[in-house]
Structure 1
């Protein structure tokens, strides 16, 4: 700003103290909160907005909930208002631009992400358990595992300490279903619906081998015993190169006797079509439900 280094974000007070005029602030700054500005020179991403808010928040504050999940790569819509987690003893003026959560957190419940304080993977999963339906919670947990922010041991350790925390029952029910091998949100949804049905739990990233035992393809989900595979077809499968690879992959699967079920976005409204089609496929391959 005319030779005055203010950085990607700044407060009104710090800019004025540096000699910036009111008009310069109005011309350069994008106001994201009372007295807080993001420079027009940077993209107003969630990370940049959180970095800006860190200037005004106390050192004990951290970003959590959906904000932490999105920053760590979870498949959620970017929140319009960042969620800030504060300890119970801290009195901070309410700001309508922020969502506040009050939590008693230990050192293991908070970590660093790109230079800002963010709740850990296990803490983020627990906080979201009260707000998300189970299939979405599993998708978030899978993504956190896939990104290296969550593991089974650390999650169990956090849930043991949770006691009567809101959402802990759902978190404990969904925790055993998490799998870091899942490659997408739709895959997680399909696996959740199958795992909570009366069908056998599916395997993830099922290897398909040729006659020499070499792995030539992987199915998103499947049942090796009955040679049934499930694939989710996202938009990327319509791209020319991906379509060609899929043709070869599906041909290899069929040659080796695999029965392939393909699902798309219109199947994600609920479990019925996924579970029923998978049930019929398994029955055709010799699976029989437990008579009990």
Structure 2
């Protein structure tokens, strides 16, 4: 389905598009269900290539149509909702399925996205035992408690998981740093306010060449005026083949921890 560029995106439009290709007996699941629920869980390749639709059947045979990634799956009535005739897994079921089935960095991002969209964290945690014996339940059991609705994008969620992998404690997200008048000035994506160490994800969409000067000034202010140590991470650090972010976070954290006393003394001197 193609629409004019000036047509506003909406739930109604997304449902109408899927109804053109999804059979009546089928159920929209996983990444496509997240898209319906306005949670960003599409693969990163979606910016270049149309992703397959995630559609399953509760009947004996899968859906066999081009562009559809299908299978057979069992559901309870509580797992499903109907939107203008289209059957879709609920936000709770979709979050559990993506938390089980996606690559762990994408899985945590999906969980964060659903929490940000209003899913109750306690309800998600209470649901986990139901999936005992399901594929990926160990991953879901590990990641669901780490969910954080304050994470603002999938790469930030992935960076936070690298922080846990670095074994440097529990990070905070979206940490406000204040100016001398007590006004919130800048936010740090993920960090430890006690150690004054933080990690920032710089994606091409919001941190390209046009924003380079502002980004450099922001990092310089945080390090000079508030004596934070900030490391910057890119797409390759977070998602690349080497997955170097955890190692960099650990090194940066330990360096910041070791120099904490000296930096605090410097901060007091600056404040005088």
Structure-1-length-normalised TM-score: 0.71
Distance 1:227 1:172 in 2: 30
How far 1:126 moved relative to its partner? 2.5
Distance 1:95 1:102 in 2: 12
How far 1:112 moved relative to its partner? 4.9
Match of residue 141 from structure 2: 172
How far 1:127 moved relative to its partner? 2.1
How far 1:83 moved relative to its partner? 2.1
Structure 2 residue runs of 5 or longer lacking an equivalent are 6-12, 262-272
Match of residue 276 from structure 1: 251
Match of 1:227 among 176, 182, 196: 196
The C-alpha deviation readout for 1:204-240, integer Å capped at 9, x for no partner, is: 0011012333221111111111112211111121253
How far 1:99 moved relative to its partner? 3.0
Distance 1:247 1:110 in 2: 47
Distance 1:115 1:215 in 2: 46
Change (3 A) 1:279 1:117: farther
SS in 2 for 1:211: coil
2:34–2:40 Cα contact (<8 Å) kept: yes
2:39–2:114 Cα contact (<8 Å) kept: yes
Distance 1:224 1:194 in 2: 14
Structure-2-length-normalised TM-score: 0.75
Match of residue 8 from structure 1: none
Change (3 A) 1:102 1:94: closer
Higher fraction of helix: 2
2:62–2:70 Cα contact (<8 Å) kept: no
Match of residue 70 from structure 1: 35
Note if 1:50 corresponds to 2:18: yes
Q: Higher RCO, 1 or 2 (CA under 8 Å, sep at least 6)? A: 2
Matches within 5 A, 1:82-121: 82-87=53-58, 90-91=59-60, 94-97=63-66, 98-112=68-82, 116-121=86-91
The C-alpha deviation readout for 1:51-81, integer Å capped at 9, x for no partner, is: 2124x322xx320022213333323224643
How far 1:176 moved relative to its partner? 0.8
2:31–2:54 Cα contact (<8 Å) kept: yes
Match of residue 160 from structure 1: 129
How far 1:170 moved relative to its partner? 1.0
Match of residue 110 from structure 2: 140
Distance 1:195 1:156 in 2: 19
Change (3 A) 1:203 1:96: same
How far 1:132 moved relative to its partner? 2.0
How far 1:49 moved relative to its partner? 4.4
Distance 1:230 1:41 in 2: 39
Largest Rg, 1 or 2: 1
Match of residue 13 from structure 1: none
Between Structure 1 and Structure 2, how many residues are aligned?
Answer: 240
